[in-house]
A and B are shown apart, each in its own frame.
Chain A
Amino acid sequence: MKDRIKEIANSYFISVTLINAAIFATGMIFRPEQTFGYDAYLSPLILGFLTLIPTLITYSSKELTIRQLLFRKAIQLLLDIVIVIAVIFAESEINSETVTAAIGVSVSIVIVFAAVHVIEWTLERRTAKQLTEQLAEFQQRNSS
């Protein structure tokens, strides 16, 4: 459980940082003239939290195979897109400008989602490398 919380916290802070970058990029493209108050600083934190909820779908008491996990990750991404679009455009009128913006936001969610996993994978690769080195030493010590 402790490891799971640590992992979720890691994922949250990486997501918040990347959401910030995504808001900057999509904002500059679609509404560069827009200005915000201090409350705007809360949106990456809230969006980061909301996108954590679908991670529950990847939890299983049984060990999932890579294929099962990939399938659940795809659903998680889909839910992330639905939640974020619903929150951002809840009070907006549906017109061509909103649809274009929603597509832009969706693309940025996919990019953030992929980037979070790439960063996590890179961190895990370091752990895997350490484990492989420790394993080689262990095998050398215990080889008969």
Chain B
Amino acid sequence: MDIRIVKIGENSQDYIEIGCHKTDENINEIVSFIKSRQGAVEGTKNDRQYQLPVVDIFYIESVDDRTFIYLEKDCYESRKKLYEFEQVLASRRFVRISKAVIINLMKIVSISPALNGRFLCKLTNGEEVIISRKYVPDIKERLKG
């Protein structure tokens, strides 16, 4: 496999591009490794532990004192509390949108009004999550920064 490193301008974002004939196990492994280098959190599903790449997380929700991590299709449980995730992921494009949910801003497609001063954000996997009015100013501030 040929490996090429291309220098890009200072104003451009770093990126990794993989050229391949088809996405096989090897390619998925490389992608998982690259993603894990950008940070991962531990999650449990069916009594098995997994390292979940932060960039793949859609949102994290706290329900009845239990914390769940949602990826595109799967859901994992975590022992960490929501506020712990909030602290850890604050610098990773995550923001609190309600009392029980922290969301990955990179996974939101659009925001629309819901009832009672709340908003509904549509995610790239088609799911919809409610934004509480209380957190709207924080989200605005975060998007500016």
Asked if A and B are interacting partners, one says: yes
CB-CB under 8 A from B132, the residues of chain A are 63
CB proximity of B139 to chain A, nearest CB, Å: 7
Whether B76 sits at the interface, judged by CB under 8 Å, is: no
* Of listed B98, B105, B143, B144, residue having the most chain A CB within 10 A: B143
Is there a chain A Cβ closer than 8 Å to B10's Cβ? Answer: no
CB < 8 Å A-B pair total: 69
Is A30 on the interface with B (CB-CB < 8 A)?
A: no
Q: Quick check: A121 and B105 within 8 Å, CB to CB? A: no
Q: Is the CB of B112 within 8 A of A125?
A: yes
Bound-state Cα–Cα, A62 to B126, Å: 24
Q: Is the interface of A mostly helix, strand, loop or mixed?
A: helix
Partner of A63, one of B14, B119, B130: B130
Taking A121-B113, A131-B140 as given, write out 17 further A-B residue pairs in contact, using a Cβ cutoff of 8 Å, ordered by the A residue number.
A3-B133, A3-B136, A58-B116, A62-B99, A63-B130, A66-B114, A69-B115, A124-B117, A124-B119, A125-B112, A131-B119, A131-B143, A135-B108, A137-B143, A138-B143, A142-B93, A144-B14
Residues of A within 8 A of B (CB): 3-4, 7, 58, 62-66, 69-70, 73, 117, 120-121, 124-125, 127-128, 131-132, 134-135, 137-139, 142-144
